[in-house]
Chain A
């Protein structure tokens, strides 16, 4: 039952990063980022419920440069996780396992997440005037 002589499978550090593996870990990273974002969403809902002072404090945070930077990161994380999540659902349905299709869907996710983020931010600035 000695385990010392068992062959070990190579781990991630010996592989060259590929689109597929990078998007896979990015899906997990954006999911964790969204978990933190959810905490701040609930904090914002509490600020709305608490009254004018709390709301003003929350808004001044979100409109500050650090608040905007966090929102930019979270909005891209959200759109990436959404698009790549749909890609995962397609895989679950048995579609898109060809290597060529996997790369094409991967790049589609990257472009779509950036385009959707830009649309949301342009719309936000346009609404604010």
Chain B
């Protein structure tokens, strides 16, 4: 036996302080059991191996360990689950933005419990029947004029509501989503700096890491990100984490968003129909290219690289013209539905203008509808033509056949009635066919298109959310605090503390015997 006299006290002391650290960590865990994003911590205890450094000669006697030491406090977190969570969150973010917008679009056209364009079409058909019964009657015509006027106003109202939905979504995008992303990027960079300097000083800053993870989770809802951590050895037995966040482009190119304490920002520009997102550095200068230089950006424009997350959802809904796109395929965003409505309004107006007029090619001489701003007829600009509005005598061409004594026939009115049952070819301005059917069928088609998209994205969203919840539950299973666990830990650290203290008192008694009880014979 060749250990030092008071070495045992050291062992006991180490035992007591290790147990006390354990109790503190347990207490930390327990009080933080409800904290969002908190990862449970645990004590890393190692036993101290016997050293022969202080002996001149290696001894042959059995070596005894020298107690325990707390090397560090670490977090229990599975980084792979984090990666999966963020990848899933990106899909959820995209789907939820699209869902909210489509819900608004649906509400504009929904006529299940309210009256809109479809009801007004049916009303107009009724009035045409009344006029067919009394052709040339000024009261029947007046009622028809009112009915047609109401129809144009409802078109105007639909258009306004769609535009309001668009403006709200655009505001949400420019005033809410992008500034939030920029704030997150800035905060993450600041946290990076702090964590790094703490880690250099030896403090692993677990709470700050938890905060950072929460922020990255939030960021992943908006942008398709990829997190890269590297452990860098800085000497003295210490290593620090360097974290950078990249945007994953369309074909796998990477664009730096955060690189340690440096961050880039997103800029948004554009107006109706062509919103663009650009990547800027923290001073506002556009970034020139992807990280490896393979893809050059023109003034930092990365609109095409946003493939996932809420921002991609916003871009689809704000810019997507669907079949109306002049080139390529685009998603069906709000502009698509606005264009559909405009196509319906202009087709309807032109058909009836031709029916009522005596000449066969535009400009029609007896138009019923015209545009309020002199351009093409759209849902926003459709109105009763001034000629009709101001006419005091019969304006509707009730018949295009000559009658014997000038009495008014009703053949043209009957023709107008059949126009509601005739199939029209609806196509985009560029000639892409959209739909063949009557006016009312086209309107219903707009509704069901929006409805189908909504129900499909809803299904996707529910699936994504279910998977996200599942991943989150798995994360919680690894990282969250179980009060049962901590309770048991309390008891075991308590025991360890008691045991170490008992050891202390035992050694104390033993030494007392040695010091005060030995070698006093004959005193």
Physical interaction between A and B:
no
B residues lining the A interface (CB < 8 Å): none
